[in-house]
A = this chain, B = another copy of it.
Amino acid sequence: MSHTNIRSLAKELNLSISTVSKALKDSYEISYETKERVLKAANELNYKPNAFASGLRRKKSNTIAVVIPEVADSFFSLAIKGIEEISQTKGYHVLIYLTYESWKKEQAILEDLKNGRVDGILMSVSSETSCSKHIKSVLDEDIPVILFDRIVEGMEVAKIITDDFESGYKATNHLIENGCTKIAFLSVSTLLDINNKRLAGYKKALTDKKKPVEERFIIQCGNDFKTNYEILKEAMLHSDKPDGIIGSVENLITPLYLVIKDLCILSPSEVKLISFSNLQTAEILNPTLTTITQPAFEIGKAAATILFNALEKRNYNWKKENIVIPSELCTRESSIISK
């Protein structure tokens, strides 16, 4: 007889791998009848309960993976610091995998991680990721996945995010209060939940103040510096150009400042700026940059804490965790009424 694993056991029982796994771990989500059925089959097929109990299965590598789109963004480098702070106390190694915003690469990495190289995964999805099948298939192997910042909406898995909608709202409101009437929102991938929530907050703030939402002020940006420079230059050369700009991600800041400088536009008197960012250099730019500062370090810590709880605690329904840590508006020169 060939070796029985969780997959063959599930097939034999005509149940999902996830159900069998939960039944073996005595999860409250599974009915008594199903648990009995699973245990009976496990015995018949010569499963040694200890061999597949979560404790043994999960603790073999003492390593966790962090799968993220990039490290050049200060949000991610800070989040990693938070993750490392928790992992250190647990004696775990942290492996960082970069997807470079490629869904294909993200799938290949998760496929590779199914081999048991790590005990659990912390992940922020790429801007191309439009389905969660690859994540589910890792969960089916009984490897916990915690999503942070860039999540997949509607998926039953632990999520740690910031208040993207409220932050988009707050940023827009701040510019309205400082006299802007033509506020542009620099949008990135519309597949990204964070982008869409920030944009929704922007629209809601305008609507609440009885201002029109104009499509031409929702500026679709790309992934590379040169493209973004050209897109922003065109927008700022327009005769009816924006008098307020919200950058939805950090990497739009340098092209934005360069365009403003190259076109000799005065900020903040001609155009007020605010960006989502954790850049330390925000304070030394000219003008200093008003930011929506995300709790990157705290998000990393919270995500790692939940992952270790998932690895250590029995009967803990970690997939239900849904934590929102608010971002902060840091007002600096770029967005306030100039004297």
Contact = CB atoms under 8 A, between A and B. Distances in A.
A98 B84 contact: yes
A287 to B, nearest CB: 9
Interface string A69-101: 011101011101100100000000111111010
Interface string A108-124: 11001000010000000
Contacts of A31: none
Nearest to A93: B112
Nearest to A113: B93
Nearest to A102: B88
A50 interface: no
Given A109-B93, A284-B261, A285-B285, A100 B71 contact: no
Interface residues of A, number: 35
Interface of A: 63, 70-72, 74, 76-78, 80-81, 84, 93-98, 100, 108-109, 112, 117, 225, 253-254, 257-258, 261, 279-281, 283-286
Contact of A279 (B258, B281, B286): B281
Given A72-B74, A97-B94, A97-B96, A254 B225 contact: no
A95 B281 CA distance: 28
A217 B167 CA distance: 45
A121 to B, nearest CB: 13
Residue of A71, A76, A97, A108 with highest tally of chain B CB at under 10 A: A71
A96 B254 CA distance: 26
Contacts of A98: 80, 84, 94, 96
A258 B97 CA distance: 34
Contacts of A279: 281
B283 A286 contact: no
A247 to B, nearest CB: 13
A283 B109 CA distance: 35
Residue of A95, A254, A279 with highest tally of chain B CB at under 10 A: A95
Nearest to A285: B284
Contacts of A257: 284
A84 B97 contact: no
12 contacts: A72-B77, A93-B97, A93-B109, A94-B98, A95-B97, A225-B280, A254-B281, A257-B284, A261-B284, A281-B281, A285-B286, A286-B286
